Chain A
Amino acid sequence: MTKEEVKELLQRYADGKCSPQEKAMVEHWYLSESFKQSSDFDTNDIQELKFEIWDKITQDRSFKSNSKIKSILLWTASVAAVLIFVFSLSEPFIFNSADKLLAKKEKPAVFDKSPARNKAVLTLSDGSKIILDDARSGYIADQQGIKISKSPDGSIIYSMPESLLGNNNESDVVPYNFITTPKGGKFQIILPDKSKIWLNSESTLRFPARFIGQERNVELTGEAYFEVAKNINMPFIVKTKDMSVFVTGTEFNIMAYSEDKFTSTTLVQGSVQVSSPSQKIILKPGEQVVGNQTIGLSKRDADIEETIAWKNGLFQFNNTDIATVMNQISRWYDVTVEYEGDSSGKRFGGYISRDSKLSQVLKMLELSGVKCRIEEKKIIVLP
């Protein structure tokens, strides 16, 4: 075959006019050819390359002309370096070294924020609101004989008097309560069935003051970790906007913030069934379901440590995009986040205590190449 004939063959291939045999031949040649070739380039340049090509893609006319994307592009315009900072677990005080490194550069802090505290609002069935914080403990209120109190460690406890035990009259109208944490707040609650729930910042749990009937139903917006008390006869069901989680007794985490496009449920112990109107998925410990009705639900092996880090008092990231990182910081410290310029798609890894002050967290980010400026209640991420 001559070169001209080969060109014609490739032309037919490009036009989709090859016979199946010719098509297979071209593809097989291509595979074996690419198997023979080797390449090498300087891996030190790899992150810069990633930047460079991504910038070109997002500046391409046909990419820009797509109006769908303009508004979102501002904060994702640049996928920057994959910054893997893995701090040895044996050295929890990473800031000792970070502080030393930064001691010279450090400017006097004009503004700082303390981490999230025990802070929430409890709304009773009659609409009355009770502000919860660290200050008070002891008796709070009564809901149809259920005593609501606050333990010194900061949990809200719903306890059922013995006279109500065994009273499972479904015709009773059960009062529903809400507990809502603000930005910069968190709380724990123990429901009358002794299930314990940790509520992360900016989250709401709706639950009955007392569980009666066939099911224990609660609703969640935001993020919570559940330690559900075992009761095979009365399954515990958490409803969220994208999925429902059905359990009898187990430990799991749900992240279902209303502004997120999708929800995730991560199983730590036991077994749960996660469902949407069109799908049912059973999880084993260590697995996660993520998605919504439109894109469907999918199952994967979860990064348990990263998922439940918040409950264990840590920020923990593993090649996590900067938007996710800043979002967590924004909730925990009750600050808003803005992005200046194009450079916010960076990836970040590492961990730090959630008891740290905001300035310490930002210092760590800076150490990893993410520069920020703080104005009153506002973090500005610099390119």
Chain B
Amino acid sequence: MNSYKSLNDFQLLELIKSGDANAFAEIYERYWTLILHHALKMLKDNDEAKDLVQDVFVTLWIKIDQIDPNTNIAGFLYISTRNKILNLIRHNQIKTDYLSSLANFVSEPRNSALEELSAKNLNFVIEKEIQNLPVKMREIFELSRKKFLSHKEIADVLDISDKTVKKQINNAIRILKLRLNILPTLILLSSALPY
């Protein structure tokens, strides 16, 4: 039997559209840790973060018929997560005082060029840049980013030393930083790295 893990996100999206639960499970497998980690960072509450991950994937399932087949799923999930968190912020349901932070931000003078890039674009750019990394580096980076493995586990899987893994991940981040030339974009990446 051909394994679903060999399909790319766009192919999985097509299969989910036809009601394939295995394809949906594979997307969950790929992205749940990214979303959980991000939600935890913003919400600082385990239960709320878990509910949010659930909400995001249920939304993906419900809205699947409306999603364009060319949608980048990683981007869709990120935006969906962000919008749900912004909603919680609006209703002041988060421990951190984000409302004040946003109020200050709005009043600060800032570089307007940066703001031209929406998060959606950034996410797309990041995905593309990861695909352009050298093969071995990308393999390690994706194992760490998507599979949520520790350096030690990656080292075992790929039969290399954990020092090499660490070096490769740092190299990957450095290359991405250089290529993207925008620090905040690395939020998505650094949030997914094992600690």
Contacts and interface: CB of A to CB of B under 8 A. Distances in A.
Contacts of A260: 1-2
Given A14-B87, A30-B82, A31-B122, A86 B157 contact: yes
Nearest to B52: A53
A108 B98 CA distance: 63
Nearest to B106: A1
A46 to B, nearest CB: 7
A14 B84 CA distance: 9
A25 B54 CA distance: 28
The residue among A31, A79, A300 with the most chain B CB atoms within 10 A of its own CB is A31
A24 B2 contact: no
A31 B119 contact: yes
Contact of B8 (A84, A261, A298): A298
Contact of A60 (B4, B37, B54, B114): B54
A39 B187 CA distance: 12
A76 B21 contact: yes
A37 B42 contact: yes
Interface in A102-134: none
B46 interface: yes
B101 interface: yes
Contact of A261 (B15, B90, B110, B150): B15
A10 B83 CA distance: 10
B21 A328 contact: no
B178 interface: no
A324 B187 CA distance: 35
B107 interface: yes
Given A300-B8, A319-B5, A10 B86 contact: yes
Contact of B50 (A43, A49, A320, A321): A49
Contacts of A56: 50, 54
Contacts of B96: 37
A321 B20 contact: no
A186 to B, nearest CB: 16
Interface in A41-56: 41, 43, 46, 49-50, 52-54, 56
Given A49-B36, A320-B5, A57 B28 contact: yes
A41 B45 CA distance: 10
B19 A69 contact: yes
A296 B9 CA distance: 12
Contact of A291 (B7, B32, B110): B7
A323 interface: yes
A2 interface: yes
A11 interface: yes
Interface in B1-59: 1-8, 10-11, 14-15, 18-22, 25-26, 28-29, 32-33, 36-38, 40-42, 44, 46, 50, 53-54, 57-58
B76 interface: no
B50 A52 contact: yes
Contacts of A82: 147
B116 interface: yes
Contacts of B107: 1
B191 interface: yes
B104 to A, nearest CB: 8
A290 B6 contact: yes
21 contacts: A5-B103, A21-B115, A24-B118, A26-B102, A27-B119, A30-B85, A33-B105, A34-B191, A49-B36, A53-B36, A57-B57, A60-B58, A63-B61, A66-B19, A72-B22, A76-B21, A261-B2, A263-B2, A290-B7, A295-B11, A296-B11
Interface of B: 1-8, 10-11, 14-15, 18-22, 25-26, 28-29, 32-33, 36-38, 40-42, 44, 46, 50, 53-54, 57-58, 61-62, 82-83, 85-87, 89-90, 92, 96, 98-103, 105-107, 110, 114-119, 122, 135, 139, 147-150, 153, 156-157, 159, 183-187, 190-191, 194-195
Interface of A: 1-3, 5-7, 9-11, 13-14, 21, 23-35, 37-41, 43, 46, 49-50, 52-54, 56-57, 60, 62-63, 66, 68-69, 72-73, 76, 79, 82, 84, 86, 89, 255, 257, 259-264, 288, 290-291, 294-296, 298, 300-302, 318-321, 323-324, 327-328, 345, 347, 349
